[in-house]
Amino acid sequence: MKLKRSTRILLYILLIVFMLLTLYSIFNAGNTESLFRVIISDPAYDLVLTVCLALCVGVLVILITASREQNSLEHLLEINSDYIHELRSRGKTDTEIAESFLGKLGSRQGLLHRLAKWRVLRYLSKL
The DSSP element (H or E) to which 7 belongs, if any, is: helix 5-27
Long-range contacts of 102-110 (CB under 8 A, 24+ apart): 105/76
In a shared domain, residues 77 and 115: yes
pLDDT at position 70 is: 58
93 φ/ψ sector (left φ>0, alpha ψ -120 to 50, else beta): beta
The per-residue pLDDT for range 103-127, each reduced to its tens digit, is 887 877 888 888 888 888 888 887 7
Whole-structure pTM value: 0.58
In a shared domain, residues 17 and 43: yes
In a shared domain, residues 80 and 58: no
Confidence of residue 59 (pLDDT cuts 50, 70, 90): very high
In a shared domain, residues 79 and 107: yes
Residue where a domain stops, chosen among 66, 88, 108: 66
Q: Helix axis angle, 94-105 relative to 72-79, nearest 10°?
A: 110
Distance, in Å, from the CA atom of 77 to the CA atom of 71, rounded to the nearest integer, reads 10
In a shared domain, residues 54 and 30: yes
The per-residue pLDDT for range 22-51, each reduced to its tens digit, is 999 999 988 888 888 888 888 889 999 999
Q: Which residue segment(s) compose the domain that 91 sits in? A: 72-126
In a shared domain, residues 30 and 57: yes
